[in-house]
Structure 1
Amino acid sequence: MTDTTSAVGATVVQRWRTMRWVLLALVLIVGVSAVSAYLTAPRQGGRMNPDATSPDGAHALVTLLRDRGVDVVIAKDLAGVERAARPDSLLLMAPTPYLVDDAALQRIANLPVDVLLVEPTSWTREALAPKIERAEDPSFGGEPRCDMPEATRAGQVQLNLSDTYEPVDGAALTRCYDGALVRYTDGGRAVTVVGTADFMTNAGLLREGNAALAMNLAGARPTLIWYIPDRIEGESDGATSVMDLIPGRVGWIVLQLCLAVGFVALWRGRRIGPLVAEDLPVVVRASETVEGRGRLYRSRRARDRAASALRTAVLLRILPRLGLGSQSDPASVVETVAHRIRYDPAAVEYALFGPDPSDDAQLLSLSRLLDDIERQVATS
């Protein structure tokens, strides 16, 4: 019993030593996959995104405006902007790299709404606010020093770094904060441009006067259309898969490579012929072979195969002595053996054709019974 326990313990240790590296590799693969999925997962965010709660998002400003009674409409394409555009609306254009189409900018310029450009690109500013240009000196002050109602009510603000603007060809222009905030009227609508978006973000609203200025500018009309496109106008919004990025001819190249590999495999493949018996390179004692096979059966708890091997070996040795062939039916073999050695037929049937042992003790008893039957047949 002690030998069996120690053998089982050794087997468990060997299995653990073999499996621990596999388990470690699986853990590393799962860990790397989880980290990669977390880092590459899409997250709601982005600068001046009205739904983002990150420091550079604008969710706080949108919430304040809606609490004040302003109807904030989030538009991610021009069709949404055009549906919501009304004479009493204000179009806020957040900083975006996607507004580069001349036709799209012209459609915005034709809308009958006031426009608030926040930190516009030169492309957007030239198309929608052609009467202003960037000033050479970007410095500005914290006091409004103008008669724009939104700025005078807000008072001193902290805009940090900001572009400043000046009029083109002496155009009539209201300049606040030394040009960081400007406004002029064009065709009956007001065009307001502010050189930075920081004071409108979730983090920027906390600074002195910023929240007041942001709410005064964005809440000047009953309806605010917050335009922040997430793609270039006209492009498909469907998700692009890896297969969409592969050129069409690559499929034919892969097919040709597969055919080439298949032909090489057929050419170099080795045909499987009949089994050939070969002598062992060394002489192995029968006792060592039996002991090794026994340990293998025990390590795998293969009592059924061990019992089948013992029964088959005994039948191959006693059937010639009984004058029976290998194709004899079990009933004839049991009757002949029991009559020959004067044994209980039930015991003979159990020994030669009975069920598989359920534990090591039954397997040991079966081996002793088979040995006794074989010995008596040999001496009878």
Structure 2
Amino acid sequence: MSAPTAGAPTRPTTRPTTRPTTPSTTRSGRRSRLRLAVVAALALALAVGVWTTRGGEQYPGAADPRNPGAEGAQALARVLEDQGVEVTVARSADAFDEARVDASTTVVVSGTEQLAASTLARMRRHASDAARIVLVEPDYALLQEIDPALGLLSVAAEGDDAVAARCPDGVAGVALDGLTVEVDRARSYHLDEADESCFPLGDGALMLTVDDLVLLGAGAALTNDQVTRADNAAVALRLLGHEPRVVWYVPDAADAVGDDAVTIGTLLPDWVGPGLWVLALSGVALVLWRFRRLGPLSTEPLPVVVRAVETASSRGRMYRRSGDRAHAARALRGAARADIAGRLRLDRGTPAPVVAEAAARQLGVPVEMVATLLDDERTSPATDQDLVRYAQDLARLRREVHRP
């Protein structure tokens, strides 16, 4: 190599520097990798849990077409699809309005306890062209919206006894005669003017047609755990699979309008309102009957005017004639005590010792002197002269107290 020429700048030579690895850096790297591994494991466990629970009881309602549980109807829905029936599930009133419903459609409504009066009317309007509308176990409130004369007779447990169809003409164009239904519980409906009925139970039937509705009281026949009993599967497939399309409507309580809310008025019988009005009117009539109208005050002249001095003289003569000096002395003493108490600004019912003490303080005399005259325990006068002297002493005491 040739040596660098004089005056030429020399380029500094840089060498790569390596940072020394310390134990703390190694530990922090291990912690970061450990955190990432824990987060990845949790995410994987969550994903596996979500994947394994897909198709589980996401819709736990009774007779729900996507519920694989014992009370669900997923098995029936899948069999219908395997048989070529198109099954559309609508879980709100808006979704049901968007579903196509025509003469080749069977509408089945499960979870009817969530069906309010407004959503019932809305559903019937949209499904007016359907081949049939099947309501699964409607309750009493819903029956009253359909027809007030419609009755829910019983909720019966039939045990191992199957109920025969006994309807040669079928129901809503579906032939069911010769089939039986066996369920753990059933609702029996009754209506004198029902169009058709099947599976009679007691005084009603497990299946009833009213106008455009088919009321199915044996809703358990559609469920996964009871669809294989007796002829439940055949009944369900004939009723729901008779047409090429099924719209399975699961109502949502949030679709109800404000007027559907349950209030005290809706829970009371219809006769309560008129009864309260009759009771109120009866109360008003009673008040008008017994009410006394008070007119202006009127003055009446007294038949006899008796002077106070005459009354006092008459009472004195009666006391003297009866010889009851004790009563006369007690009356004089009470009048004197009340007068002195009023003069000294005491209550008229003040006890005698208190009045005597106040009067003695006012007069500047010993308390015993006044208490002797005002004490209720004083010995009654023995003669008329003693009564007169006692009356004079009380009169003198009253004058002294009244003296300014």
- Report the TM range for the smaller structure's normalisation: 0.3 to 0.5
Where relative contact order (Cα < 8 A, 6+ residues apart) is larger, the structure is: 1
Q: TM-score, normalised by structure 1?
A: 0.45
TM-score, length basis structure 2: 0.43
